[in-house]
Amino acid sequence: MSHSISTPVPEPSAPGRGHAVGATAGQWPEKKPIWPDRRLVDLLGIEHPLVLAPMAGLGTVELAASVCAGGGLGSLGCVGLPPERVTQAVDKLRTLTDKPINTNFFCHNATRADPAREANWRDRLAPYYNELRLDPSLAASQSEILPFDDALCRVVERVKPEIVSFHFGLPEPALLARVKAAGCRVMGSATTVAEARWLEARGADVIIAQGCEAGGHRGMFLKPGGGGCVSAEHAGPGATDRRCRRRADYRRGWNRRRTWDRGCLCARRGGGPDRDGLPLCPEAALPPLCRDALRQARADTTVLTNVFTGRPARALSNRLTRELGPLHGVTPDFPTPMLALTPLRRKAEQQGSREFSPHWRGKRHRWVE
């Protein structure tokens, strides 16, 4: 697929018809490309500056393939998947597209056992378990969402996706070196200028400057409890983007070919991840209850909360965020709260309720850049 933007065929001049200012006879003035800044598309080998947010659990191979077919970057959310399932997903996507693809992983610290905090969390959830007539012992079920490790790195080396993106920082240097040696471009999310500089210094090819408006988990990692969040939100829409761009443009320049961008769900100058409109596509694995909730959402119905997973994330407000949050001071480490909430969420959804479900959604604004 060509990267060029076609221009209309000039209309032949007719008697009595004037020409546009600056045009020669029989020609229209040169039309500027829709996306004049091509650094991102050239670096990633795509046609349009659109990146499908990975959306682990909601994104599908078919959705990624459709984005690739449309000229964007299709992404696979590999968080929580064992290595063999990552391999299967990439292999299936390769049968549907020959365009560049992105695989996404988390780089969070492994969960630290804290029996006291976990017991306190179960106590907080006990009234809801009783209300829905669930066995409270279900809240103690344990499972682990592993960060990017040697086993997942071996998969990347084998399937060689063109791009590998990371949330919550980057993997340890030895693993990152192996990813780059496999020929993969590396993307990482930053929520502050300090995080952007950290990512750049450690070799990220693309930095996604994620504002507080963005839906889903904030990619903070230097201060994972919430650093940089309040200041960016109070500074107005796109604050993180503006700060990173100023630092990139005026202090570092573009000599190392870094592409700075925004993960906010709003108008973009250079392109970026989208997780607001694409989840409603028929290819997304979104249950009807969630689809309806997202369609009816307004800008003031989202909150930044940690009660779903233990890490700050922007989602639709519901009973859980109102009564326990939005930011609870003693939630266990990620992802323990999510595991304890799963029985509640499933039972409530069976009854047509979303009061315990994490429906990730961005905070929309109306403005023109």
Amino acid identity for residue 184 in this structure: C
- Secondary structure (DSSP) of 237-265: TTHHHHHHHHHIIIIITTTT--EEEE-SS
Please say whether the beta carbons of 271 and 369 come within 8 A: no
Q: How far is CA 76 from CA 42, 165, 202, in A?
A: 21, 10, 23
Q: Structure tokens of 167?
A: 């949330």
pLDDT of residue 320: 95
186-211 residue pLDDT tens? 999 999 999 999 999 999 999 998 88
Q: How far is CA 256 from the centre of its chain?
A: 24
Please say whether the beta carbons of 262 and 210 come within 8 A: yes
pLDDT of residue 362: 80
Please say whether the beta carbons of 344 and 337 come within 8 A: no
222-278 residue pLDDT tens? 976 544 443 333 344 455 555 555 444 433 333 333 333 333 342 233 344 544 556
Q: Report the distance separating Cα 9 and Cα 22, nearest Å.
A: 17
Strand spans (E) along 120-162: none
Helix (H, G, I), strand (E, B) or coil at 273: strand
Please say whether the beta carbons of 263 and 211 come within 8 A: yes
pLDDT of residue 305: 94
109-151 residue pLDDT tens? 887 888 899 999 999 999 999 999 999 888 876 667 889 999 9
Q: Report the distance separating Cα 171 and Cα 149, nearest Å.
A: 8
Please say whether the beta carbons of 263 and 273 come within 8 A: yes
Is 31's pLDDT higher than 90? no
pLDDT of residue 258: 34
pLDDT of residue 109: 86
Q: Report the distance separating Cα 304 and Cα 213, nearest Å.
A: 9
Amino acid identity for residue 55 in this structure: M
Q: Report the distance separating Cα 234 and Cα 196, nearest Å.
A: 20
User: In percent, how much of the chain has pLDDT > 70?
Assistant: 71
- At 11, the pLDDT band (50, 70, 90 cuts) reads very low
Helix (H, G, I), strand (E, B) or coil at 96: helix
312-361 residue pLDDT tens? 999 999 999 999 989 988 889 888 898 889 999 999 999 999 999 998 88
Average pLDDT, the chain: 78
Amino acid identity for residue 126 in this structure: A
Nearest partner of 287 among 355, 350, 364, judged by Cα: 350
| pTM (predicted TM-score) | 0.77
Q: Report the distance separating Cα 303 and Cα 361, nearest Å.
A: 9
Please say whether the beta carbons of 345 and 329 come within 8 A: no
pLDDT of residue 34: 62
